[in-house]
A and B are shown apart, each in its own frame.
Chain A
Amino acid sequence: MAVDAAGAGRAPARTPGAPPRRTTRPRRGGRLVPYGFVSPFFLVFGIFGLYPLLYTFWVSLHHWDRLTGDGGFAGLDNFQDLFADPDFYTATFNTFSIFLLSTVPQLLLALAVAWLLDRRLRARTTWRALVLVPQYVSVVAVALVFSQLFGRDFGVVNWALQHLGLISEPVDWTAETWSSHLAIAFMVMWRWTGYNALIYLAAMQAVPRELYESALVDGAGRMLTFRRITLPAIRPTVLFTVVISTIGGLQLFAEPFLFDPQANAEGGTEHQFQTLTLMLYKYGFINNDAGYASAISCVLFLVIAAVAALNFLVTRRLGGGSGR
């Protein structure tokens, strides 16, 4: 594909000929112009998106130092080392744990928020905008703010929990597996719930109102109309968000990276919140073992593809079931 695009990219160079004054038919070179218009995308994606992704596989089969370059063919050595590395299993567990903790509640909450927004509201644009604000705060800012909120000594969360009598001692959120996963999941949820809610809302608004009205006349309650009418109608959108959230959620980097004040990509003293992308960064850019890091990339790619496909199938079935 990249090759095609490259060929098309050269096309417009031939066309800057005579100015088009009062000709009644398009010039001959004009046939290539559309390809010229669409080629920048394919060039950029091919060179900076697709090619590096494919090349990752090649690098993963080599002993490759990031700074000194290719150190010879390694076969599957990097993969063998990876599968023997306990950190890899910890990181895989952490990745899934944080992904589930952040994505499942986030999408359910987004559905609820969209459901609330999908009615006659005063100042509805203001409500929508306020819900959307977190999406435009950078991940770095979110991570720093939430590191404060979840701080052991000065954190607001500990203060609130102590005041409510739920805990007696301050929680060191970064120290434990469950607490660090929870804190990181909150960062992700905070940033993405409103955005997904608006996406669901847009889909909900495409559902004809008469359907609700007639259902209500027939005595169906709010919950029932939501389950029988709204959910089946927005199913394609739910599928879309599930797949996109899977792809994003399994690649979390900035939140766990910055949650650790050391920012050394270890993900805590015992790797308790080191995700696979964090591990990829550590080996690629701190240890400079590009081959090993590329092996992590390849495995993560397969994991993402498998989980995204699985989620797609499961969500489609579930949606189909509730719609009957």
Chain B
Amino acid sequence: MAPSLTTPASRPDAPTALPGAGGPPGHPRPRRRRGSGPRHFDSAGPLAYALLAAVVLASVFPLYWTFVVASHGDNSVLGGSTPSLVPGGHLVANIRRVFDTVDFWKALGNSFAVAGTTAASNVLLSSLAGYAFAKLRFPGRDALLVVVIATVMVPTQLGIIPLYLLVTDMGLYGTLSSLIVPALVSAVGVFWMRQAMEENIPDELIESARVDGAGHLRTFLHVAWPGVRSTAAVLGMFTFMFAWNDYFWPLIALPPENGTVQIALNQLAAGYYTDYTLMLAGVVVSVLPVLALFAVLARRIVSGVMDGAVKG
């Protein structure tokens, strides 16, 4: 079973932040709730469902519309008096045109390579660091952890020009390493894995392994790692998606002919006349891997986002 979503680590500050919660002031007379019955006080009524359905419609419609446009023969689907909401039969033909127009295979390969490598390295390096922060005692540990957390707020994107100069000096411009190396490990990953270690690995387990003479690396591999594998998997997935979707840095660090999927997508949109069916067929191809991953692991992703929120 997937971990429960409803019991995030309790926040110590929550109860104290509720002044007068025992008896809310200023409401002398009890009000009757509409439709009061056996319903639980926080169960969702029809109105809540309707509003949520509207929200979901808004978040899904642009994707459905993309699919509709991408499956039609030409822009004429858009030109009529009423846009068609029914998919056409040209999706495969349009996708084929995408691969004829730009080197999408290469872009997909590049994106898989970059996203896969950064996912693996983030999992490994964040786990090691998280293990040290959660389970090892060393001078300066808490201060270093604060530094890790604080870096989340640093707008590193603003250093883009020196980063470009640096990567060029290192001879990495135009190579996939220019995307991979700066993204090998992230603060969010370290913090996440520290939290997972703290919650899932009892100190006694680590200590007894150490007393038995196991070294740090061995203790990490055989005692700590098995307990955090599932968190590590979610971290890997997040990193993959993030790297897959990144745009600003790949735009700068790679020439268009050796780009990632996002760069190829951008090329499809360029030109005087926008071929919407072609462009949105490209969008379909580019989002499919990520949405497939999302569909399979939705439950984990949702709890990952929510866990991260409570801890963050």
Interface on A for B, CB 8 Å cutoff? 1, 19-24, 26-27, 30-31, 33-35, 37-38, 40-42, 44-45, 47-56, 59, 66, 113, 116-122, 124-134, 136-142, 144-149, 151, 153-154, 156, 159, 190, 193-195, 198-203, 205-209, 211-221, 224-225, 228-229, 232-233, 235-237, 240, 243-244, 247, 251, 253-254, 258, 261, 263, 277, 280, 284-285, 290, 293-294, 297-298, 300-301, 304, 308, 323-324
User: Does B63 lie within 8 Å of A119, measured CB to CB?
Assistant: no
- B310: which of A19, A41, A206 is its contact (CB, 8 Å)? A206
Interface presence of B305 (CB below 8 A): yes
Which chain A residues lie closer than 8 Å to B138 at the CB level?
31, 34-35
Q: In the complex, how many angstroms separate the beta carbon of A92 from the nearest chain B beta carbon?
A: 15
Q: Pick the contact of A125: B30, B75, B302 (CB < 8 A).
A: B302
In the assembled complex, which residues on chain A have CB atoms less than 8 Å from the CB atom of B217?
33
Q: Is A125 in contact with B299, judged by CB distance below 8 angstroms?
A: yes
Interface range on chain B: under 10, 10 to 19, 20 to 34, or 35 or more?
35 or more
Report how far A70 CA is from B244 CA in the complex, Å: 34
With A119-B43, A132-B302, A132-B305 already in contact, the answer to whether A145 and B158 are too (CB < 8 A) is no
Which 3 A-B residue pairings sit nearest by Cβ, starting from the closest?
A: A52-B159, A154-B78, A219-B30
Partner of A49, one of B129, B151, B218, B262: B151
Chosen A-B contacts, 10 in total, with CB atoms closer than 8 Å, are A31-B138, A44-B185, A52-B160, A53-B158, A128-B306, A134-B62, A138-B247, A140-B247, A198-B302, A219-B28
Q: Does any Cβ of A come within 8 Å of B287's Cβ?
A: yes
Which one, B161, B218, B309, contacts A59 given CB within 8 A?
B161
**A140 and B22 contact, Cβ closer than 8 Å, known pairs A44-B182, A213-B41, A290-B165:** no
In the complex formed, the residue of B with least CB distance to A254 is: B247
Asked if B5 is at the interface of the complex by the 8 Å CB criterion, the answer is: yes
Known: A44-B182, A297-B158. A263 touches B247 (CB 8 A): no
Q: Please report whether the interface of chain B is mostly helix, strand, loop or mixed according to DSSP.
A: helix
* Chain A residues with CB under 8 A of B35: none
Q: Given contacts A141-B286, A251-B157, A290-B165, is CB(A116)–CB(B24) below 8 Å?
A: no
Candidates A37, A44, A285; contact of B252 at CB < 8 Å: A285
Q: Mark B200-216, 1 if CB is under 8 A from A, else 0.
A: 00000000001101111
A residues near B1, Cβ cutoff 8 Å: none
A34 CB → nearest B CB, Å: 4
Q: From the candidates A134, A154, A200, A203, name the one contacting B59 in the complex (CB within 8 A).
A: A134
Say which residue of B18, B163, B262, B280 sits within 8 Å of A140 (CB atoms): B262
Interface of chain A, helix or strand or loop or mixed? helix
What is the minimal beta-carbon distance from A149 to any residue of chain B, in angstroms?
Answer: 7
Interface segment out of the listed B97-105, B228-236, B263-271: B263-271
Could you tell me which B residues sit within 8 Å of A by CB distance?
A: 5-6, 8, 10-11, 13-15, 17-24, 27-31, 33, 40-44, 48-49, 51-52, 55-56, 58-60, 62-63, 65-66, 69, 75, 78-79, 82-83, 125-126, 128-129, 131-133, 136-138, 141, 144, 147-148, 151-166, 181-182, 184-187, 190, 210-211, 213-218, 241, 244-245, 247-248, 252, 261-262, 265-266, 269-271, 274, 276, 279-280, 282-283, 286-287, 290-291, 294, 298-299, 301-302, 305-307, 309-310, 312
Q: Which residues of B contact A147 (CB under 8 A)?
A: 269, 274
How close is A187's CB to chain B, nearest CB, in angstroms? 10
Give the shortest distance, in Å, between A116 (CB) and chain B (any CB).
Answer: 5
With a cutoff of 8 Å between Cβ atoms, the chain B residues found around residue A59 in the complex are 161-162, 165
Q: Which residues of A contact B41 (CB under 8 A)?
A: 212-213, 216
Query: What residues of chain B lie closer than 8 Å to A200, measured between beta carbons?
Result: 309
Among B210, B216, B261, max chain A CB count under 10 A is at B216
Known: A22-B213, A120-B44, A133-B294. A201 touches B185 (CB 8 A): no
Q: Is the CB of A52 within 8 A of B163?
A: yes
